Structures are given as structure tokens and as C-alpha cells.
Amino acid sequence: MTAYEQVKVWEIDEVRPRPARPSRPSQPPSPPRPIRPRSPATDSRAVRPQDVRERAERNERLLVWARLSVVVILGAAVLWWPYGRNCGFGLAAYLLAPTMIIVGGLWVVACTWTRRMARTHGLAMLVALWGAGLIAAEILPRIGYAAQPAVWLCRNAPRGTP
């Protein structure tokens, strides 16, 4: 017995005929239509499984690119943040936006990894790093790593800062 015969992936059951349904007495039976074999070249409704798979893969790739474009737009739009971000609630709200850039970038990184989209994967990693850089630019002055220190809360802000 070969190794292939030892491992059964599935078993095929015998096809059992269905019991015949009783016909309705009020409707006369329709005459049977002649059965014509259809070829994929002549039948416009016939769809090959390969075409279905290719269409599904194309749609998945388009969805990944759409996700990446949304995250890139958020990453670019955060440069024009319209509110104050010096301290307090404005700073917390601003830090939430780059956090979402990182989360969205990692989401696209995971999607591109599973779909083996190497270039898009690299772009998504760059977007996630961009979000980390935006957060670092705000946090590092507040932990004493810059020449101009900044504060977390507005009540501790030195006079003359907005």
C-alpha cells in the first residue's frame, strides 16, 4: 500500500437518487426541453473558476490600496492640524491622530503581508514609521530630550507660551 493510499483526505459518498415529488394536479406537466451541451466559448454566462479567483484577488488588492490611501491621507493631513497642541487636551487630541496613523499603518502592514504585496508592505511600514516620528516629535521635548523643553499640562506652562 502506497503512502498516498494510506492518507485519505476525503471520502466520496455514493449519490443516492432523490425520491420523486408528487406533481400538482392543477398544473399539467411541461414538455421536457432538449438538453444541449454548452461550451464556455459559446455561453456568455459561463464563468471559469480561474476568472473568479483573479477577480477576487484584484478586488482584495484594490481594498488594500484603498486602506493605505486613507492612512496616507490622514498622515499628510495631520501636518495641517488646525488646533493648538502645546499642552493639555489639545496635545492629547493631537497625539491621538498619529496613534491612529500607526494603527492604520500596522493594519495595512498585516493585510499586505498576508496577500504578499511587497511594495505596498514597504509603503505601509513607512506610514507607520511616519506616525511614530510625529509622536516622537511631541514627546521628546516633554521628557527633556530637547534644548527647548515643553510641558504636558497647560497650568505648568511658563509665562509667555500660548
Reported as a single tens digit per residue, the pLDDT across 35-69 is 766 665 555 566 787 888 888 889 999 999 999 99
Please tell me the pTM assigned to this model: 0.64
Helices (H), the chain: 3-6, 49-77, 88-114, 118-139
Distance, in Å, from the CA atom of 66 to the CA atom of 120, rounded to the nearest integer, reads 11
- When the pLDDT of each residue in the chain is averaged and rounded to a whole number, the result is 81
Residue with cell 478586488: 59
> Where along the chain do its domains lie?
53-162
Residue with cell 492629547: 92
- Residue 143: the pLDDT is 87
- Which grid coordinates are listed for 71? 492612512
Distance, in Å, from the CA atom of 56 to the CA atom of 34, rounded to the nearest integer, reads 35
CA dihedral 92, 96, 98, 103 (to 10 degrees): 150
- Residue 132: the pLDDT is 96
